[in-house]
Amino acid sequence: MARKYIIVTGGVLSGIGKGVVSASIGRLMKESGIKVNSLKVDPYLNVDAGTMNPNQHGEVFVTDDGYEADLDLGHYERFLGIEMKRFNNMTAGQIYKTVIEKEREGKYLGGTVQMVPHVTQEIKNRIEAVEADVLLIEIGGTVGDIEGEIFLEAVRQLSTEKGRENFMFVHVTFVPYLRVTNEFKTKPTQQSVQLLRRIGIHPDMLVVRTEMEIDTESLEKVALFGGLDSKYVINLPDLGNIYEVPEGLYKMNVQKLIADKLSFDIKTDMKWNCPKSFRRDKIAIIGKYLGTDDAYKSIMESIFLCGVKKPELIDSERLEELDDEGVKALLSNYDGLIIPGGFGKRGIEGKIKALKYARINDVPLLGICLGMQLMVIEYARNVKNLENANSREFDENTPYAVIDIMEEQKKIINMGGTMRLGSQRTELIRGSKLFELHNEDIIYERHRHRYEANSQDFSELFKMPGEEGEKLIISAKSDFVEAVELEDHPFYMGVQYHPEFKSKVGDPNPVFIGFVQAIEKLKNK
């Protein structure tokens, strides 16, 4: 069949779940036997999300090939169960940078470089480079945003060139409920559709987001003003969690409506292994990016996919103000702790206090990236009495640089990179808890960091599984220490990589499964 395109746009306001709707539609297509791929379009001028502050924009999601992406790519990975790559994300910054570089190189043969056709053509080239039978394109932002208009124009042109019958435009919008008059107000949605039509795009389906189920009369009004058959106006009220969306859309026959519109045959199966019941474990993330709930999105979703309600966030700077007893009083309310990744010294001492509490009191703890490094620092200070042990990231003059930029890492940086990014080969050490969780000798996990555990200069801190002595066990390694753990502890494990980026629906990363199982085992005692 000819290649098909599903274009997802958003209207009225941001944050209504356009990315989740897009990923859910992609999953429906995959379950229907279609080879589907996705492209997330971000109209911002950043080249990628690598320099964005998590407090403002949420987490930076890292792909296997080392691309630093918007967190929406995490939704696509978790929902579709396929690995995203750098070509699955396109930003305005990338497009304009490429066009300007071509102009400087004389590739336009002295012609006047313009938004149309040069920028739109570059966008179309990037779209066509993604392989799929059905390509799902989510255009970030909302219709009417200045920065997004050029992308809408590009897909409008593409639909003309490739045949409008091969395109389906899905517009996700919001209908507010006015409690004063006890009615849904459809006017914002009507105006959003009108904006799209002025651009030359007529939506084929409207997904109407609401806080509660909308009445039929309001839906029919939306259909009338949108020029659509009412069966193509889908109401998606708030659900218990985002993983209920694919099944909700499936029950409303969205996959059949899309297949009919785009003229292809589908299967009617739906296998969706998201958790249906949840344990009451209380888990805390000791973080420092608290400006948005999305700063630790993939960690929270990984825990949720293990069948546990999402963790609570605790400000690590708050812990800095407490003594040991105060830390214990606060953290004793939780069954397990996670120390996540991050950059910079702010809040570090609070995280170290949390680590000391968990280590001494046998509280299950998972350290991720920076979290693993701080486990080494805490152990050096409080067990091996290396006073003022630290990372060179936080203290250039520390007498004990137990975390440092190692010689092998310096070679990586000198070759043009600033961090270890993307999937890296990791050897698991037999006899460790981490090996038991994976039951594999070699795994590939994603990294995003500069500094490493300095096992070369501080051998008194580390040992291999089965060796004698009170030390941290090295449970995984590459050219560097990749994971550490304690043997006489229910679960005290740190990994240098980011296991949260590999969790999928029905297949959370084994590290999170082991962490949750350790909590359950302790509670059952």
Closest CA to 35 of 233, 333, 266: 266
CA angle 103–105–109, rounded 5-degree value? 65
Strand order in the sheet with 205-210: 89-91, 36-42, 134-139, 4-10, 167-174, 205-210, 233-237
CB proximity list for 414: less than 8 A, separation 6 or greater:
none
123/117 Cα distance (integer angstroms): 10
Residue 469 · residue 462 · CB < 8 Å: no
3-state class (DSSP) for residue 511: helix
Omega of the bond leading into 117 within 30 degrees of 0 (cis): yes
Q: Which amino acid is at 118?
A: H
267/247 Cα distance (integer angstroms): 15
Q: Which residues of 398-417 are buried (b: 16+ CB within 10 A; e: fewer)?
A: bebbbbbbbeebeebeeeee
Number of other residues whose CB lies within 10 A of the CB of residue 153: 18
Backbone angles phi, psi at 132, to 5 degrees: 180, 155
Catalytic residue ranges: 369, 498, 500
The first and second tokens of residue 312, run together, are 């609570």
Torsion of CA 501, 503, 509, 511, to 10 degrees: 50
Instruction: Indicate the DSSP class of residue 105.
Output: T
3-state class (DSSP) for residue 523: helix
CA angle 297–23–20, rounded 5-degree value? 55
Tokens 């092998």, residue?
408
Residue 135 · residue 127 · CB < 8 Å: yes
Number of other residues whose CB lies within 10 A of the CB of residue 295: 25
Closest CA to 150 of 132, 175, 126: 126
Q: Dump strand ranges (E) for 122-182.
A: 134-139, 167-174, 177-178
CB proximity list for 194: less than 8 A, separation 6 or greater:
none
Instruction: Indicate the helix (H) or strand (E) that contains 6.
Output: strand 4-10
